[in-house]
Amino acid sequence: MIRTLYHGSSRIVRTPGFGGGNAGNDFGIGFYCTDSHDAASEWAIGRSRDGFVNTYKLNDSGLRMLDLGSPQYCILHWLAILLSYREFDTLTPRAYQARDYLRTAFAVDHQNYDCITGWRADNIHFAFAQSFLNGEMSYEQLRDSVRLSGLGRQTVIKSNRAFDRLLFNSTAMRSQKAATSTLSGSRANGLLWKVWKKLSSGPPGLIAEVCIYLRSWKKTSEITIRGWYR
């Protein structure tokens, strides 16, 4: 199957290189893309610079693809992989035990896959995952915060075989100035975190359903936040 993928960057990336990237990213070293043009547009723009959305075509026929959104996996499988690469603040002995348990009970043999697709742990959802480890958030709350937030999924190109199948298609510039009138994902996440903390200190059973609808890049993002009793 031919898939269209986008990569937001400060530069044009015509030939992504195998073995590049940051080993401390969500799924380790690799080339991180998304199937959402809006998400790539946001990732491309820095606080004071413009960026580029690079478009690629990936022929995934015959590739070993790991999709953490498949029915056989849950949020804890995703978290177990994060624990392999991201640095978490484990504040208590219970958090250490939870970390070790997740690494064992929900381990995914992901090393031999050509590509990995899963949720992107941006700052707000990384904070949620850390709160879960420290016993400050239930499994249901962690699961719902990821599923209901519209958190973007990312596909990471991991192997030489996959890089050989990834073909550069086009690029488009994204202006930081043009984006200042929109509610960016980072600002939305900051608001979401404040709301979540407020609701989590309220009556038991009160949770937040957060839907972030990123419309076209030129329109204002919409956030709908609802709290209800189970």
pLDDT band at 189 (very low <50, low <70, confident <90, very high): low
Averaged pLDDT, 187-203: 51
- Write down the pLDDT at residue 193: 52
- Residues 143 and 151: beta-carbon distance below 8 Å: no
| Domain regions of the chain by residue span | 2-225
Locus of tokens 């199948």: 165
d(CA 5, CA 201): 40
**Angle at alpha carbon of residue 120, lines to 82 and 55, rounded to 5°:** 130
- Segment 67-100, tens digit of pLDDT: 999 999 999 999 999 999 998 877 788 888 999 9
195: pLDDT confidence band, cut at 50, 70 and 90? low
Tell me the CA distances in angstroms from 157 to 101, 102, 193, one per residue in order: 28, 25, 30
Lowest mean pLDDT: which of 112-116, 153-157, 170-174, 222-226?
A: 222-226
With contact defined as beta carbons under 8 Å apart, do 72 and 37 qualify? no
pLDDT of residue 213: 35
Q: Give the confidence band of 209 by pLDDT, cuts at 50, 70, 90.
A: very low
pLDDT given for residue 177 in this prediction: 63
pLDDT tens sequence across 37-62: 988 988 888 767 889 999 999 999 99
Q: How far is CA 39 from CA 53, 135, 159, in A?
A: 10, 31, 24
Contact 132/82 with Cβ under 8 angstroms?
no
User: What pLDDT was estimated at residue 216?
Assistant: 33
Q: Is the CA virtual torsion 112, 116, 120, 125 positive or negative?
A: negative
Angstrom distances, CA of residue 50 to CA of 6, 185, 188, 215: 16, 16, 20, 20
Chain center to CA of 174: 20
Residue 209 vs residue 128, higher pLDDT? 128
Q: Region 210-225: what's the mean pLDDT?
A: 37
Nearest CA to 84 out of 134, 135, 128, 121 is that of: 121
Distance of CA 208 to the CA centre of its chain: 19
pLDDT score of 197 more than 70: no
pLDDT band with cut points at 50, 70 and 90 for residue 200? low
Cα 22 from Cα 173, distance rounded (Å): 24
Phi and psi at 57, nearest 5°, equal -115, 130
Mean per-residue pLDDT over the chain, rounded: 79
What are the tens digits of pLDDT across the range 9-46? 999 999 998 888 889 999 999 999 999 998 898 888 87
* Percent of the chain residues past pLDDT 90, beyond the cut: 45
CA atoms within 13 A on the CB side of 26: 24
pTM above 0.85, yes or no: no
CA-to-CA separations, 179 to 46, 184, 214, in angstroms, rounded: 10, 8, 13
